[in-house]
Amino acid sequence: MQVPTHNTRGGAVLAGLGGWLPPRVVDNHELSRRLDTSDEWIRTRTGITARHVVAPGMSTVDMAVEAGRRALDSAGADGERVDAVVLATSTPDHVCPASAPQVASRLGLAGAAAFDVNAVCSGFVYALATAAGLLACGAARRVLVVGADAFTTLLDPGDRSTVPIFGDGAGAVVLRSGRPDEPGALGPFDLHSDGELADLLIVPAGGSRQKVSDQPSDHYLTMRGPAVFRHATARMAESSRAVLAEAGWTAADVDRCVGHQANIRILTATAKNLGLSADALVVNIGHTGNTSAASIPLAMVDGVLDGTLKDGDRVLVTAFGAGLTWGSTVLRWPELRCVPL
């Protein structure tokens, strides 16, 4: 599905940015003491040296509130009157109710529309498109979009194929109504899915199809890594080409690419597939791991802080996740301020 950037009511403009990571850091050496792995094995295959992990009692909502507060502060006056909160997550605090209303309430936004979006690692791009739709139809003038996941809670602690990859965290942006041609305006969007491949990344139990299971492994994420790699690199490149064409850009026009931080090899393979230089990639997976729906906004925060993302940069955003889901968008980077993670 391709969603055009122009509409009768204006565009969705990036006005604030924030992120938050749990204090506890688990590095590769700690993992190698309890798993059949090593720092070298993890680094060379994923690009990850450490990841942040939620402490007992800490939840997705807790992280989302911290990131949301920072994004609202970054937005200044635009963060004072938010009409809606869209939370991208696949690890809500509860199966029912949604977590977004709790985030809104704790941020002092009680009464705002609030709901969750679950497209797993593509969730943030899907949530941006959803928020842009709210702005386009006039249902909101300002929207807080949060990507937050406590993904380590879905992992088998003894699984060396998943534990080294994932971390926890939250990132958020404030979107406001604005002109489609001004700095920070998002769009067009390109969104897709393929449910026939849902079993490539899946937690079998816990939902309505299989609420509980006597097999503990049914409650943990299973991942068919090689197949995921093939589909991720192909689909992100395919979606990126489509959204660039819709925007009237070519790969040569792209200054920076903020891709879902799944694996450094996926990022570099996607860039190569698109004809982009590896230097165009905004990468922070080394110290965060794969934070699912939080990975893109967290990479944006680090990109601003280290100067990788600069005012006026033409930025491609692309993601791939379980479902399967994938999607992309573009924007010209605006002037933003944010605090360190």
Q: What's the pLDDT score for residue 10?
A: 60
For the stretch 338-341, contacts whose Cβ atoms lie closer than 8 Å and that sit 24 or more positions apart, written own/partner, are 338/17, 338/18, 338/19, 338/70, 338/71, 338/74, 338/301, 338/304, 338/305, 339/18, 339/70, 339/73, 339/74, 340/301, 340/305, 341/19, 341/20, 341/21, 341/169, 341/298, 341/301, 341/302
Q: What's the pLDDT score for residue 2?
A: 61
Q: How many alpha carbons lie under 13 Å from residue 60 in its C-beta half-sphere?
A: 28
Q: What's the pLDDT score for residue 122?
A: 98
Q: What's the pLDDT score for residue 6?
A: 41
Q: What is residue 337's DSSP assignment?
A: -
Mark whether 121 is an active-site residue.
yes
Selecting among 28, 231, 260, 284, the annotated active-site residue is: 260
146-to-8, 9, 23 alpha-carbon distances in Å:
26, 23, 19
Mark whether 96 is an active-site residue.
no
Tens-digit pLDDT profile for residues 49-65: 999 999 999 999 999 99
State which residues of the chain have pLDDT below 70: 2-10
β-sheet bridge partners, residue 16: 174
β-sheet bridge partners, residue 84: 113, 143
Mark whether 260 is an active-site residue.
yes
Q: What's the pLDDT score for residue 105?
A: 97
Query: Residues 6 or more apart from 307 whose CB is under 8 A from it?
Result: none
Selecting among 28, 263, 284, 290, the annotated active-site residue is: 290
Tokens coding 224? 């068919």
How far apart (Å, rounded) are the C-alpha atoms in residues 10 and 5? 9
How far apart (Å, rounded) are the C-alpha atoms in residues 301 and 25? 18
How far apart (Å, rounded) are the C-alpha atoms in residues 174 and 215? 42
Selecting among 121, 192, 257, 284, the annotated active-site residue is: 121
Query: Residues 6 or more apart from 230 whose CB is under 8 A from it?
Result: none
Cis ω for the linkage preceding 188 (within 30 of 0): yes
Tens-digit pLDDT profile for residues 121-159: 999 999 999 999 999 999 999 999 999 999 999 999 999
